[in-house]
Structure 1
């Protein structure tokens, strides 16, 4: 008589990597589905992801608060139409408490790698340099703005003054009256530069690539409008619907004209340059600040103070000469000038779409292949932006290739989180322990995205030199070439035939107390509250 196979029960049914908006949205979806045995892990000592680590002066969202919020919970504390960063962080904290997620979050926990165990149909995840945690499913909610990118400039380690990256802002340092230099003029810098100009004795801005921007229609709403937008559900729904519809109408025109846009964008670029000249009323500044690439190559930005900051020529200098190296006391440019400074600020963004940083740790699938190596060989795709074949029981929320649409990132996050929930619930309903997207479905989706974006302006001449993170290191467009409505439908109504469901002999497919028929019953939560680990010294 043969012995019964040993049944391995994982530590958690679902492990969510990341406690920012993506991880929180995924956790809410699981709880709404009656799945309670999950844990969120985050390498930081607080929740919020991007909004927890980015706290530089002037940080704010460029999406109205009524739309930059989860559909299940209104933003009830915004003081402005475009809320500042600390209000976004406060909103995230309230969402976590409203859904009882705090006890499910394990902070100061760095995921080092993950490996699929085909024998037991579970993931073996290594954290904090050696501890192993097992889970039936893994949801990656790492976000895109995750790994800070320092400039690759000779001598940067020799600078004797104070050096800081915008994603690790030092609030203990006194910037008042200092000679400050900032490298970078992207979306972060355009918020930070006006604030630094207010405190610096002199501000030097080193620009490699100028940015297209528009006036920001921002205003205070804490006089009652915030209560109407957040507290009156019909009004909130109508405003969100109007914003989403307006964005989708623009996307429809853009998607339908992807191959025609390269022909018309040179004229749009010239028109944008003419508007810059009218706005700036300074030919020298206009020449420096006007991009040569087309509007729309990068995510559109808004500011009411950025341009006017450079008009303070006695205190603010815009340098477009190439940086040769960083010296002990300043920055040396190609014209031979050494710009002496006290503080060096790196507003140089994040490693988005680069090999080895998407994700920033190794994930070995069913065949033993590493995910980054697979993408390098077969190009950067994921079915509906969520799943990759041979990486079973793994889903990406808000950070997968071909998942982002030019809208609120929370739209993508909620849509892809709904995809992960639907796949997991169906796996449990079937009494299965493994779900894997079929290769034909994955290939068809990849082909659709590639063919739809081939010849678009982002990968042709109009966007040359834009350094846009819409295009990955392989030169392919990494965004989803559809409307938000298409994304919503595709992630909530994908055919189950696009996945393969299976059960390993001897496995217990669902935890005790959960119906294998519907997969949405309440369970007795088997695990104690997550422990908040002490923050590591830096």
Structure 2
């Protein structure tokens, strides 16, 4: 008789079903055959941010050739820069291919995790937020050996504290919670924010609104969006000629890595190129509106804020039904919005918040109790998030996180980071399980040493303070009010991948009946290698062409010699 599935006991619990959670589950299943996995996802399906963000114009600003897993590359994206729907379709297809649905529990969220020091187990409270499952239960607990957070940095929409908001009788919605049933045709709309999201929304909704007020707090660096439709023959070539596909991905990888200098080194030639691109757009698209040029021109170094990539944002600001307002919002009235220094109250029907996410509150609203009853608030005093290599937290045993503190990229595809993290964490989990099994199915829990994590964090901050991220001339979603940068990684994607290639087990503490076996292994080997996925191009185009031509020439010579011998 088959053993019934254990709905409340598992080896690994993964919180989040987006790109990170999916990568983690696939790595455990395919590389280590660890299948006792439960994935808790608050929404109704896989996809994460690409399922949540369905606002008009939602799209990626990373090349489509780089925006898929290395182990499950999508060859038939229809555009150079993919849209939300295509990305979501891709992710759901991957979930289906790797049979992740059998591990998933949707419309569920995790509010509390408690570590049991006696059993060396996690007791995680799962709340059922909707669907038919909520008809028979509102919550239950899952007992697991390991917990992985794949919540990410961009999951909790950030509100905007505006006086009078409670009395406003119009509609208010955040771009990450877009109401598809709301028709903006003929409406008077105000949108707060002029970042990457707003730059996608504004050109889409401006033509249908009666009037659109764009509320700018800080202008962004805007550069052209080099997006093109990929023709059928281009898609065919990528799908059917592996060498071409690999070369395209590698060249795009190299280009994006070079872009790192533009957003980190204010005096680099690439930063100057960013300035030139922005100035070029201003002169080309707003040459007849010097008033708008003055308002939208950034006054800080490239990279201080997230770069905005668009071709149609500036032209939209010139529409007769669009106003760019740079004065601070004073308050909302019953049916309008008032700006400081302006007597007139502007009537609005809808207020859209393109205000981003609560990026400093890592792990969302999750209440974590670690070793000896220590809470995350105690481990992270003053809310400063610190994690060894961005994936493990002191005093939180058998726990890992993807897209954690100081792992965000502002120049390349995050999938490159996420895959490296999933590889590293899966190797750590497998080592813990292997040591336990070899020690007669004993118990084992590991966590990073506090002093090692502190040194790692201090080195990061020293590097980050010498980048454009720390420019005091602007604020961003990765820099706190005290200047501490808790989100961004200071190096390239390859730098981060190399950081995770080695697991130094001497940097970890351990407990449990298998502790002596673990310490014995650490004393023998000291570290563990986790090979990274190498996708960058090693040869330039000219070198590659020389090799190809040389190979052809050699082939012709050999053919001639063979013919002479046969005569």
How does the TM-score come out when normalised to structure 2? 0.81
1:226-237 alignment to 2 at 5 Å? 226-237=235-246
Within 1, Cα distance between the matches of 2:144 and 2:508?
Answer: 20
Bigger radius of gyration: 2
- Distance in structure 1 (CA, Å) of the matches to 2:276 and 2:309: 18
2:311 is aligned to 304
Equivalence map 1:73-112=2 (5 Å):
73-112=72-111
Kindly tell me: are residues 179 and 417 of structure 1, through their superposed partners in 2, closer, same or farther at Cα, counting changes over 3 Å? Answer: same
Matched, 1:437 2:436: no
- Rounded to whole Å, the distance in 1 between the matches of 2:99 and 2:394 is 33
Query: What's the counterpart of residue 224 of structure 2?
Result: 215
Out of 27, 37, 45, which is 1:29 matched to? Answer: 27
Question: Larger RCO: Structure 1 or Structure 2 (Cα < 8 Å, ≥ 6 residues apart)?
Answer: 1
Structure 2 counterparts to residues 63-74 of structure 1, below 5 A: 63-74=62-73
The alignment partner of 2:358 has SS state of coil
- Which of 462, 468, 472 matches 2:480? 472
CA contact (8 A) 2:224 2:281 kept: no
* 1:497 shift after superposition: 2.3
Query: How much does 1:401 deviate?
Result: 0.7
Of residues 388, 392, 404 in structure 1, which corresponds to 2:408?
404
* Shift in Å, 1:273: 6.8
Matched, 1:55 2:54: yes
Specify which of 245, 248, 255 is matched with residue 257 of structure 2: 248
Matched, 1:163 2:172: yes
Aligned to 1:454: 465
CA distance in 1, matches of 2:372, 2:497: 31
Q: Out of 123, 131, 151, which is 2:160 matched to? A: 151
Tell me the distance in 2 between the aligned counterparts of 1:136 and 1:330: 53
Deviations 1:414-443 (A, max 9, x none): 111111101111112212531212234322
Q: Pick the aligned partner of 1:16 from 14, 17, 20.
A: 14
The CA RMSD measured in Å over matched residues stands at: 2.6
Corresponding residue for residue 323 of structure 2: 317
* Equivalences for residues 188-207 of structure 1 within 5 A: 188-207=197-216
Taking the TM superposition and a 5 Å limit, the aligned residue runs for 1:232-311 are 232-251=241-260, 261=266, 274-279=279-284, 280-281=286-287, 282-311=289-318
Q: Is 1:397–1:413's contact at 8 Å kept on the other side of the alignment? A: yes
Cα deviation 1:159-193 (Å, max 9, x = unaligned): 21222211111111221122222111111000000
TM-score by length of 1: 0.85
* Residues 506-525 of structure 1 aligned to structure 2 (within 5 Å): none
Aligned to 1:489: 498
Structure 1: distance between partners of 2:351 and 2:263 = 39
Gaps of 5+ in 2: 1-5, 128-137, 437-442, 519-567
3-state DSSP class of the match of 1:199? Answer: coil
**Match among 311, 316, 335 for residue 329 of structure 1:** 335
CA distance in 1, matches of 2:191, 2:259: 34
The count of aligned residue pairs is 489
Partner of 1:45: 44
How far is 1:272 from its partner? 6.9
User: Which of the pair is proportionally richer in helix?
Assistant: 2
